[in-house]
Structure 1
Amino acid sequence: MGTVALQLERSTSGVVAASASVVFNTVLFTSGNISYAPLTGIITINEPGRYVINWWAVTQAAIASAGPGFALSSSLGASIQSNSPNKIGPFSGAGVINITSTPATISLVNSTSGDITFSSLVHTKAGLTLFKDEPPGDLSDSSLCFSYAQLTHVIEQLITLYPASVMSVFTTNANVVTGTATSLYTSPNADGAGLFILTDSLGQSEAIPIAAICGIYTGEATVY
């Protein structure tokens, strides 16, 4: 688990205009070589690496006929978009962005052609977590590599045996990610899987680094 991490929250109502960044008014946690500008919604990363971002929002209205949509946008050209067919209610998204040069910026942007209004019915309107994906210790340590390989093997079995079971994955930064086990992701240059992909109740994907997993509850009516 990396030493760079950030958790943001938005509790203010209001509107985010087309192509504008979502402004989170509260920093719940920050660690490492990273900063956040609360007036603009811009996150600045000062350390190269692979970063995992999860976000969610509760909307009340969207001018775009297709419903609300947000995109994780970086100054290096990455744009990872998520959309919802429902103009009212919660939805979420996730992305992995590789930062090759610094400083680099990331923000959550309204990717539609119209305003998006946050819900006035809930206290917290939106949230975002970001952390650098780096395994603890030296991967040349064969015992560590074996542990990751064994965990990957267990997850492969869970995906096969319980594709419809709602699981809870506990991570080293005290987060709990809930959803059905979908797949394991292996980058083109890697020897083994690096991310465990869950699908949440809204149909959105949540990416969890293998190195960040400290426990998995496989759900009711499962035996493992």
Structure 2
Amino acid sequence: MASTVLQLQKNSGTSILDNSNFIFDQIISSVGNLSYDPVTGAVTIPEDGLYIVDWWVSIQSTSGAPGTAVQLISDKGQVFESNSPNKTGNIGGIAVLNIDDAPVAFSLVNMSNATLFFSGMIASKANLRISAVDSGGAADNSRCFALDQFAHVLEQIVTLYPGASVSLFSNRLATITGPINSLYRSPDAGSVPMLLLGDEPVAFSIDKITVLYFPDSVYDSSITYLTPPDPFPQNCDTDQIKNIHDYVAVGDSISFTTGPTTSASGDITINEYGILVFADTTSMMLVVTPQIFSIQKVTGAARIDHSISISAR
């Protein structure tokens, strides 16, 4: 969201009625995915985040009110006021929108209890600007899409395969085998949980998991995957996700290594950003792509048709 800005300008019209939205007729600048409706005057923010909105209006006179009042009003009930005791001159305001329930639409509204009149001597009657706050890249880089993807799939796995046997490979030396139990997510956490294995469960941080191998479970085609935002956020795992996604394709036979002791091979069944799936008639394997250290495609005469193979060396 570092490159998200929308600037609107009102150049036409001689007045605006009380309790009416300002209609801006010129888009000065538009970068990112903010949208503007020139019929209603509403701006829509499609993504959660921190935004700053500022505006100014140049007033010639009013139809009777002693001053002027303009409000920024959202469809979520937020109201930000700007006012002046004068009937003539500029009125401006600023608002900070901390949005966690997008989409949100807002409009600039005349709330002066009077009609506002604009001067015919100036070209620009009003201006509104909105931009996303970039906290040194933290808003984008604090989230890793592969982790969100893996968490999304695990939510489905624990429901579809309760109690199923799974071997958990990590970027550490140990390999753990046990039955799927559940997920744990702190009430204060975001989208990334811990995976619990065993009847007396042990919790594992999923950012350390490289491979989940299900030796006796058949892949369920109802499993869904997240679609990356467009544009793809440049965060901690973006380049590796893109590299592997585009380097291999569904149907490729590959061998790969993860961590210091794990190697595997198989024919790719699902190739999603952040996850590769290998599946045959008796087993399945999920691989978190940023954890892959090396990958080799087997083609032509050298290719050997095989089922999933995984080993801890």
Partner of 1:120: 120
Q: What percent identity do the matched residue pairs reach?
A: 33
Partner of 1:129: 129
Residues 10-65 of structure 1, C-alpha deviations (whole Å, 9 max, x = no match): 11132211111101100011111210011211101101112101111111111352
- What secondary structure sits across from 2:138 in the alignment? coil
Q: Does 1:52 align with 2:55?
A: no
Q: Aligned partners of 1:133 and 1:72: how far apart in 2?
A: 18
Q: Aligned partners of 1:62 and 1:68: how far apart in 2?
A: 8
Gaps of 5+ in 1: 142-224
- What secondary structure sits across from 1:69 in the alignment? strand
Pairs aligned (count): 140
TM-score (norm 1): 0.59
Per-residue deviation at 1:134? 2.3
Q: Aligned partners of 1:69 and 1:134: how far apart in 2?
A: 30
AA aligned to 1:23 is I
Q: Aligned partners of 2:31 and 2:113: how far apart in 1?
A: 35
Moved over 3 A (4+): none
Residues 164-202 of structure 1, C-alpha deviations (whole Å, 9 max, x = no match): xxxxxxxxxxxxxxxxxxxxxxxxxxxxxxxxxxxxxxx
Partner of 2:76: 76
Q: Give the conservation status (yes or no) of the 8 Å contact 2:53–2:94.
A: yes
Q: Which has the higher contact order (CA 8 A, sep 6+)?
A: 1
Gaps of 5+ in 2: 142-313
TM-score (norm 2): 0.42
Q: CA RMSD in A?
A: 1.8
AA aligned to 1:37 is D
Q: CA 1:44 to 1:94, structure 2 compared with 1: closer, same or farther past 3 Å?
A: same
AA aligned to 1:130 is I
Partner of 1:23: 23
AA aligned to 2:72 is L
Partner of 2:11: 11
Per-residue deviation at 1:138? 3.5
AA aligned to 2:77 is G
